[in-house]
Amino acid sequence: MTSTRFRTWAALWAAGLGVMRALAAEDVLLADFEGADFGGWTVHGTAFGEAPARGTLPEQAAVGGFRGQGFVSSFHGRDRATGRLVSPEFTVSRRYLNFLIGGGEEVGATCVTVTVEGQPVRSATGREDEFLNQATFDLGEFLGRTVRIEIVDGFAGSWGHINADHFVLSDAAATPPFVQNPPPPPPYHDEPLRPQFHFTAHSNWLNDPNGLVRVGDQYHLFFQHNPTGREWGNMTWGHAVGTDLVRWKELSPALLPDPLGTMFSGSVVVDAENTAGFQTGKEPALVAIYTAAGGTSEASKGRRFTQCLAHSNDGGRTWIKYAGNPVMDAIGDDDRDPKAFWHAPTRRWVMPLYVGVPDPSRPDAQGKPAIRHTCQFFTSPDLKQWAPSGVFPEELSECPGLVSLPLSPAPGTHLWVLWGGDGAYWTGDFDGRSFTAKSGKRIGDYGTHFYAAQAWDALPNGRVVLIGWMRGGKYPGMPFNQQMSFPVDLSLERQSGEVVLVKWPVPEIRNLFTSVLREDLPKPFPPGTHRVAGDLGDLLDLELEFLPGSARTVSLEVRGQTFRWDAASATATAFGKSIPSPPVAASAGRRSEFPPPWGPDLKPWDGSVRWRLLVDRTSLELFVNGGLATASFCFLPEGPPALSLTVEGGDLAHARLVRRTLKSAWR
């Protein structure tokens, strides 16, 4: 709808509508939106309604920061509606235009813009936050000229709305003048130590992945995040979204600290049957269950760790915390990291939870009972009321995960996998109440930097994708700190009579390939060093297969780091860690990006060793024999990219190398 009402600025002033009203000798108020309508502003489209908003609109997250009673909001019709609100012309009589702005961050599409003769000369977006923050334009070069203000909502996606209020001309800038940041020109996220295909926060600290869920075609990655510093603390839930598990867009933090504590780890579920009663629209609500870490902030002094709920009815963009929090009081010592899921056979929500239990039989150095690390299970019909159902008898570190996976090659057979924060896992049975292990404890990752993994475990076709925090990496001089591992598909295989958890990089990595080169080395390959020529770049996906022959050791050097295989022990050594790498049958672990494993004309060799290495700027991840063993490492690169293969003690019967170069996931 377009308004045809137009009144001169003087008439509006005289009418007491708050437009062009002189506040003081220095300032001129252009608009404060306290009137019954928009006055002389022209309305285009439906997004802005017919009058200023008087507070938070229906289904909008709480709005704050506006002045008085009224402000501009384009959330009428939610994010789908679009439109513009255009001021009458006015003369720039002061150098600065001060105003308040909130809402979406789409450059040129959710913004406040100043135009001269119809051409934009200044523009600012929100920050994907409903709070209206102070902004300032420097209009010094336009003094004495006539201009207009346009409040624009031209975006119908998530955060497709804009909030604005209190436009004032002044000789004093209320905040440093805003320079609109257009889409950054290359290089973007290209700092020297910025991982290029592993997720990092735009800035500051990151740790555990949280709340992994898929809604429609969009994956959500929540994560532990300190938005105010590069070190751990002030825990919030950071939030990123993407459609291919590889390329991510970071959004505003989802959960912020409150009087119950800072926001520790947890999970998000799609409440398809509205068991919690939070759904308001046609789509199921998302429900987060998380740990409020009492005692970790000034506001939560004296409180213990409890479990709480929040829900979202707009696809995870905004969250409302449950008024009845906490839904589970403290049980033991620092209970945390709930990983809820729907168990269809029992029609109950199930929640594995870390609980620290004092053990008097094991006094610590001060004579106090040491803490026994347990995983306990709880069930609920509605996510609000939880009852205990079982305790896993073995010790398990924090951040428990529990998923069901098919067993290959055994059609129709499924086993459950339970793991803890250090990656160690058990396979067994789960009856909806408790987990019974059928295996001993197994190592989930042989490297140094893999921790607190969580899975997207409600994906189509039973797919389960795991991602972890690469704990302990160093990033000197960078604006961010810490990174995630690369996502992997999970499966189970029986090897030598044992059931083994298999991890393999998600095939979506192909979206980043820029070139693929295969090199077959001379056979037999005598002792010596083979250096790979050409421009390698610093982003690589390597596959090496070799048939050991009489060689005693085989070493692959990548970016100054050496992975060394020893025939006597059938293990690889890297960064001081040993990784099992026994030769395997040609049929075992048959995975590659180009099936059959090495391309349409290649077969794996019986009795060969097969490695795959993902090489990013600050990390190396090794997958042995099709993912039967993995090892994750962070490192600081030394010197230019280089790749070489060294053989000692005898000939290699066969060797071949496939190297794929990757482009940045940030561009």
Q: Which of 153, 208, 334, 616 is catalytic?
A: 208
Given a contact cutoff of 8 angstroms between Cβ atoms, the answer to whether 327 and 383 are in contact is yes
Q: What share of the chain is helix, strand, coil (3-state, %, to 5)?
A: 5, 45, 50
Cα separation values, 70 from 37, 38, 44, 65, 99, Å: 10, 10, 19, 11, 14
How would you label 438-463 residue by residue, b for 16+ Cβ within 10 Å and e otherwise?
eeeebebbbbbbbbbbbbbbbeeeee
Q: Are 237 and 211 in contact (CB under 8 A)?
A: yes
C-beta atoms surrounding 184 within 10 Å: 11
Query: 10 Å Cβ neighbour count for 532?
Result: 17
- Give me the half-sphere count of Cα atoms (radius 13 Å) on the Cβ side of residue 248: 26
By the 10 Å C-beta count (0-12 exposed, 13-18 middle, 19+ buried), 44 is classed as: middle
Distance CA 577, CA 56 (A): 56
* Of the candidates 550, 563, 560, the residue with the CA atom closest to the CA atom of residue 657: 563
Residue 300, classed as helix, strand or coil, is helix
- Cα–Cα distances in Å, from 394 out to 353, 372, 374, 426? 14, 9, 7, 10
Cα three-residue angle 427-496-589, rounded to 5 degrees: 80
DSSP three-state, residue 412: coil
Among 366, 655, 358, which Cα is nearest to 520's?
Answer: 655
> Which helix H or strand E contains 13, and what residues bound it?
helix 9-14
Instruction: Count, in order, helices (H) and strands (E) of the chain.
Output: 1, 47
Catalytic annotation present for 153: no
Residue 33 burial (CB < 10 Å; 0-12/13-18/19+)? buried
Cα–Cα distance, 647 to 649 (Å, whole number): 7
| Catalytic residue ranges | 208
